[in-house]
Amino acid sequence: MTTAVAKKVSVATSPSLEISRETALHWLEQMMLIRRFEEAAEYAYTQKKVGGFLHLYIGEESIAVGAVAAMHPDDDIFTHYRDHGWVLARGVDPKPAMAELYGKATGLVKGKGGSMHFASVKHHMWGGYAIVGGHIPLAAGMAFSHQYLKRDRIAFCVMGEGATNIGMFHEALNMAALWKLPVVFLIENNMFGMGTAVDRASAVANIYEKASAYRMPATRIDGNDIELVYTTIQEYVNRARSGEGPQMVEAMTYRFKGHSMGDPQRYRTKEEVENRRPDDPLNRWEKKLIERGWADDALIKETFTRVDKQVAEAVQFAEDSPFPDPSELYTDILVEE
Ligand SMILES: Cc1ncc(C[n+]2csc(CCOP(=O)(O)OP(=O)(O)O)c2C)c(N)n1
């Protein structure tokens, strides 16, 4: 593989279909689950049942679902704080996920992390980091351990485009490239870092071009096209796994909600958001499945009903669960030898 400088943006066209109807419907259900889970979380937040920060992934679901499908279950994922979708796509039960948002003892990390720190070691899901860019060197470190111990695993590092302006991004990319580490960096370019548009924050308009400074293969894709996400990530993950060193994919997307709850969104107009609605990845996938004769309105409704029930049960579980005992303040803070 030669220098990064990437392939052209793939906007509208999907690659030829290689997935089964069963897989297609599974992806649909996973995207619906993430959507409904977050809508329920948003509602609970407005009722003051969920505290702290809450960053919603609505409009970006195809990236997590497509990318997770392209990896091995024991590949290690590190994400930023916009992490609910990644954890659910990895197969984590929505009940402990919801309980974590509620700060309950039955939560994914015992109610001590909240929205930004979802993690499940069993699922090779290492979190959920609130410091922008802070997890990038951790992913490189995990990739180093895979290489050193000759494991057949890669590290997968998810971040927003804003994180690529942070020093740790460059340090980690440099070392990853120098040591040819098995790591894939995925940039979810949702056009804004908090209230700052990408072109006001990054000197480089095409984020994936930053990889070329480290001679890293990179590409930019339409992240709202789930099949394209799947096939591209599969290709880049395979390369990292087969010893070709670090890789980068920039997935273009758009977040429909504010940066986090309470964002007045003065940096964009309502019209701008509405104009992006036809590109909603869930609706696009529904339409595609109907066109292919793989689903109809009744099946879609039925799937939503199933997902709604699952989310309602998760909310009930969170509501019914106890808060952690105050003694929990003193556990999980040191590693015992
Ligand atoms: C080191 C650091 N600086 C600033 C912040 C405040 N902050 C939180 S999210 C964010 C924007 C990051 O945007 P991006 O990486 O594009 O991710 P997105 O939220 O759009 O998914 C900022 C500046 C932080 N958490 N950490």
Quote the pLDDT of residue 337: 67
CA of 336 to the centre of ligand 1 (A): 32
pTM: 0.95
Whether the CB of 130 sits within 6 Å of ligand 1 = yes
Where is pLDDT greater, at 13 or 228?
228
Q: Which among 54, 82, 83, 132 is the best mutation to test ligand 1's pocket, defined by most ligand atoms within 8 Å of the CB?
A: 132
Whether the CB of 161 sits within 6 Å of ligand 1 = yes
Residue with the nearest Cα to atom 25 of ligand 1?
A: 131
Percent of the chain whose pLDDT exceeds 70: 94
Say which CATH topology domain 33-226+246-321 has.
Rossmann fold (3.40.50)
Give residue-wise pLDDT tens across range 211-270. Answer: 999 999 999 999 999 999 999 999 999 999 999 999 999 999 999 999 999 999 999 999
Whether the CB of 303 sits within 6 Å of ligand 1 = no
Give residue-wise pLDDT tens across range 268-312. Answer: 999 999 999 999 999 999 999 999 999 999 999 999 999 999 999
Query: Whose CA is closest to 228, among 5, 82, 20, 65?
Result: 65
Percent of the chain whose pLDDT exceeds 90: 92
Of all atoms in ligand 1, which is nearest to the CA of residue 134? 1
Give residue-wise pLDDT tens across range 141-175. Answer: 999 999 999 999 999 999 999 999 999 999 999 99
Q: Is the pLDDT of residue 54 over 90?
A: yes
Whether the CB of 193 sits within 6 Å of ligand 1 = yes
Whether the CB of 131 sits within 6 Å of ligand 1 = yes
Whether the CB of 82 sits within 6 Å of ligand 1 = yes
CA of 116 to the centre of ligand 1 (A): 12
What confidence tier does 9 reach under pLDDT thresholds 50, 70, 90?
Answer: very low
Residue with the nearest Cα to atom 11 of ligand 1?
A: 193
